[in-house]
Amino acid sequence: MNKIKVEASEHGNQNEAESQLLDLAKSQAQGISDEDIKAHIPDIPITELVAIINKCLSKGTLELFKKNGKPYYKYKNPSKKSTPKGTDNEEKVVYKIIEEAGNIGIWIRAIRVASNLNAIQLNKVVKSLETKKLIKAVKSVSESKKKVYMLYDLEPDRSVTGGSWYQGHDFESEFVDVLNQQCHRFLVEKWEEAKKFGGGPLLVKNRSYATASDVHKFISELGISKVSLTVDDIESILYTVVLDNNAERIVATNGSYLYKAVNRFISATGLVQASCGICPLANRCADTGLVNPKACTYFTDWLNQ
């Protein structure tokens, strides 16, 4: 009897967790991540949570898609048919193939292979679905001459659009350079501010570190971007600052990255850059003789730099 009560209690907890999960998904039209689920339903063990998610996926109340390379879940009304009304059998087949591709999209050639339709039939079906605003064509930054097809209401994945750094199919190098400079400026100002407070080199160093969220807030307040940038966007820009030797990056205790401005590497002095340092005949070089500085073309080129 007690065992039956325990099982009933566990079943009730799972139903409650499933209800909470679906309510959370309904409230977030753009989808929810694993982190969102763990934050809102912390009392359920991860193994049970995975089972509940899989149950919702199999029942059709959740659908899985990828966003920024991570799995996301979106609420799906189970009573809503996956193939809309007013479509014939061929359109239903193509619609289903495109639906399964998610926000990554699918090439027309892959649709043709999966649907077993000839090119003329397929073009007619695709045009009909586009006219009905059930699907849309999106140009991929990786293949500028090709298009991928996805459902009309889906937001294309960053791997398709290139994210914030692309305008159409053109990489916005000037925009990236401006962001790089402003991110570096923020780190420098934070470093300078830390030095004003004093307290010893270790304390100054610790106060100089900033998170990507700190920099994101600064960039957002500047208003230099016409597009909405995410913290991940700023994280990628900060990494370019690190690669330029203008900042260093360390891992914080919570696993996130911290950034601090640094002095650039000291450039080599002129004498070190001279060709004499790597010359295999340097030990035979003298004021007179065949090997001498006056007759050395490499030494002359270095002096004329």
Residue 209's pLDDT is what? Answer: 94
pLDDT in tens, 182-232: 999 999 999 999 888 877 788 888 889 999 999 999 988 888 777 778 888
293: tokens are 């500085």
* Candidates 3.60.20.10, 3.90.1150.10, 1.10.10.10, 3.40.50.620; CATH matching 89-161: 1.10.10.10
pLDDT tens-digit readout, 90-101:
888 899 899 888
For residues 83 and 107, the model is more confident at 107
101-135 pLDDT, tens digit each:
888 888 888 999 888 889 898 999 999 999 988 89
Q: What's the whole-model pTM score?
A: 0.43
pLDDT score for 126:
92
Instruction: Check residue 5 and give its pLDDT.
Output: 36
Over residues 157-172, the mean pLDDT reads 61
Q: What local confidence, expressed as pLDDT, does residue 60 receive?
A: 74
Query: Is the Cβ–Cβ distance between 211 and 249 less than 8 Å?
Result: no
What per-residue confidence (pLDDT) applies to 272?
57
pLDDT at residue number 173:
74
**Matching fold, domains 2-75 and 89-161:** yes
Mean pLDDT computed over every residue of the chain = 79
160 falls in which pLDDT band (50, 70, 90)? low
Specify the higher pLDDT residue, 303 or 120. Answer: 120
Of the candidates 123, 144, 143, the one whose C-alpha atom is nearest the C-alpha of residue 135 is 123
Domains in the chain: boundaries: 2-75, 89-161, 171-261, 270-303
Distant-in-sequence, close-in-space partners of 275: CB < 8 Å, separation ≥ 6:
296, 298, 299, 301, 302
pLDDT classification of 166: cutoffs 50, 70, 90: low
Using CA atoms, how far apart are residues 112 and 114, in angstroms rounded to an integer? Answer: 6
Q: Which CATH class is domain 171-261?
A: mainly alpha
pLDDT(140) > 50:
yes
pLDDT of residue 254: 85
Q: Tell me the fold of 2-75.
A: Arc Repressor Mutant, subunit A (1.10.10)
Q: What is the pLDDT of residue 184?
A: 93
Local structure of residue 278 (DSSP, 8 states): G
Q: How far apart are CA 203 and CA 29, in angstroms?
A: 44
What percent of the chain is modeled with pLDDT above 90? Answer: 14
Integer Cα distance of 124 and 269 in angstroms: 69
- Residue 144 reports pLDDT greater than 80: no
Contact partners, residue 199, CB within 8 Å, separation at least 6:
207
What's the pLDDT tens digit per position in 257-268? 999 998 765 555
Q: What is the Cα–Cα distance from 255 to 251, expressed in whole angstroms?
A: 6
The pLDDT, as a whole number, for residue 83 is 56
